[in-house]
């Protein structure tokens, strides 16, 4: 059967097999988990409606990326740039710590690996894919103008040829190369500003032991043990609050004062943004058991935790990660930990890209 003809059922299958990689692309473009899934759903609807005009002159994959790019560029016209707390303000000393929320559309959002990273048997390819959704890289992408962002993702992350990107954007190879050069320069300027350190994939024995020690220290609320695991300049963030803390004394001081209710919590491993992470459940003082409190993403470098990012809007994040709304007791905690949580795959007329210079 040619690419230009397909039954309804066949078309559904062929579109769906691209969903995860398209979600990863849209997530890198938009910085939002839910907007990315909305963008992919819009892409699928547009593809379905216009399939009779698709003549197979390019692959279906290229055609879908063209539609997805147009959808994302339309969504980015509003000019909103997703960020992390440290992209917006300086660190707060513990004595001045205040939990001030900002609107949801301010923040770079977490994403389960399973929704954006297609399965691959190539370790090098898997490592590049994970690196490209880590929080620091995602934050750097948000500093780029939308079309430069698309060029960098297509060329550097997805390894498209310059001619393919030029055709997708309706521009020239020279324009694509110029945009890529400017995008690389912008990203180079942000290197070292809270960037994720490389974490081996899968985690090596040393990193795995570090995480085991972290779980024991956090669940036991042992600040001495936790201090030994944190880099002296470690960063803690808590979106949707713009507060962020730097250094072991401020982080552990916060945890034993404003965060004291998290004592005796339980952590369930999750895979988030190419980083080791945990679903944090704190004790339910009313009904017993444990209730959702945060999705944590950890950055690790040279045997220490350098970033400790807690996403607190659990009404949004726990369903996205396929996590239950309540844990009744130790048996359920143990069962969920043993089974592993990766996050399920869910779902949430284009304006063509201009043929002029890529901004």
Strand arrangement of the beta sheet that strand 304-311 belongs to = 244-246, 230-237, 304-311, 290-301, 275-283, 266-272
- What does the DSSP 8-state code read for residue 94? G
Q: Where are the alpha helices (DSSP H) in the chain?
A: 8-16, 19-30, 33-50, 60-76, 113-116, 123-131, 135-141, 146-152, 162-169, 173-189, 205-219, 223-229, 248-256, 314-320, 330-339
- pTM for the structure as a whole: 0.89
pLDDT of residue 335: 83
pLDDT tens digits for 257-296? 999 999 999 999 999 999 999 999 999 999 899 999 999 9
pLDDT tens digit sequence for 335-352? 888 876 655 544 333 333
Q: Closest Cα to residue 59, out of 157, 153, 168?
A: 168
Nearest Cα to Cα of residue 39 among 350, 321, 313 = 350
Confidence of residue 135 (pLDDT cuts 50, 70, 90): very high
Distance CA 148, CA 87 (A): 20
- Cα separation, 110 vs 272, whole angstroms: 7
Kindly write down the DSSP assignment for every residue of 25-85, as one continuous string: HHHHHH--HHHHHHHHHHHHHHHHHHGGG--SSS-HHHHHHHHHHHHHHHHHTT----B-G
pLDDT digits (tens, 9 = 90+) for 172-222: 999 999 999 999 999 998 765 443 444 556 678 899 999 999 999 999 999
> Are 123 and 50 within 8 A, CB to CB?
no
Distance CA 147, CA 176 (A): 9
Opening angle at CA 320, ends 212 and 105, nearest 5: 105
pLDDT tens track for 291-310: 999 999 999 998 999 999 99
Encode burial over 52-78: b for 16+ CB neighbours within 10 A, e otherwise.
Answer: eebeeebebeebbbbbbbbbbbebbee
Rounded average pLDDT over 55-83 = 88
Residue 56: predicted pLDDT: 66
Closest by CA position to 263, among listed 285, 231, 238, 233: 285
């Amino acid at each position: 059967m040619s690419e230009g003809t397909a039954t309804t059922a066949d078309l559904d299958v062929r579109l769906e097999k691209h969903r995860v990689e398209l979600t990863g692309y849209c997530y890198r473009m938009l910085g939002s988990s839910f907007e990315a899934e909305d963008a992919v759903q819009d892409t699928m609807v547009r593809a379905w409606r216009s399939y009779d005009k698709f003549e197979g002159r390019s692959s279906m994959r290229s055609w879908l990326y063209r539609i997805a790019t147009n959808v994302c560029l339309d969504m980015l016209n509003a000019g909103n740039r997703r960020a992390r707390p440290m992209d917006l303000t300086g660190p707060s000393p513990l004595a001045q710590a205040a939990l001030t929320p900002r609107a949801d559309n301010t923040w770079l959002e977490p994403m389960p690996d399973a929704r954006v990273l297609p399965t691959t048997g190539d370790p090098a390819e898997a490592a590049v894919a994970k690196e490209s959704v880590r929080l620091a890289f995602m934050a750097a992408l948000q500093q780029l103008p939308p079309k430069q962002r698309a060029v960098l993702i297509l060329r550097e992350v997805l390894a498209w040829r310059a001619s393919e990107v030029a055709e997708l954007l309706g521009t020239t190879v020279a324009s694509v190369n110029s945009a890529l050069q400017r995008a690389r320069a912008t990203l180079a300027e942000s290197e070292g500003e809270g960037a994720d350190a490389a974490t081996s994939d899968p985690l090596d024995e040393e990193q795995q032991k570090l995480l085991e020690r972290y779980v024991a220290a956090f669940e036991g609320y042992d600040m001495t043990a936790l201090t030994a695991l944190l880099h002296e300049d470690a960063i803690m963030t808590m979106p949707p609050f713009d507060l962020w803390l730097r250094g072991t004394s401020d982080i552990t001081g916060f945890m034993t004062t404003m965060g004291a209710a998290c004592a005796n919590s339980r952590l369930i491993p999750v895979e988030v943004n190419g980083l080791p992470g945990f679903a944090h459940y704190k004790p339910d003082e009313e009904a017993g058991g444990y209730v959702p409190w945060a999705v944590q993403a950890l950055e690790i470098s040279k045997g220490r935790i350098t970033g400790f990012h807690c996403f607190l809007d659990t009404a949004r994040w726990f369903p996205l990660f396929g996590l239950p709304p309540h844990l009744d007791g130790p048996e359920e905690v143990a069962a969920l930990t043993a089974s592993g949580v990766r996050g399920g795959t869910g779902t949430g007329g284009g304006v063509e890209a201009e043929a002029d210079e890529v901004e």
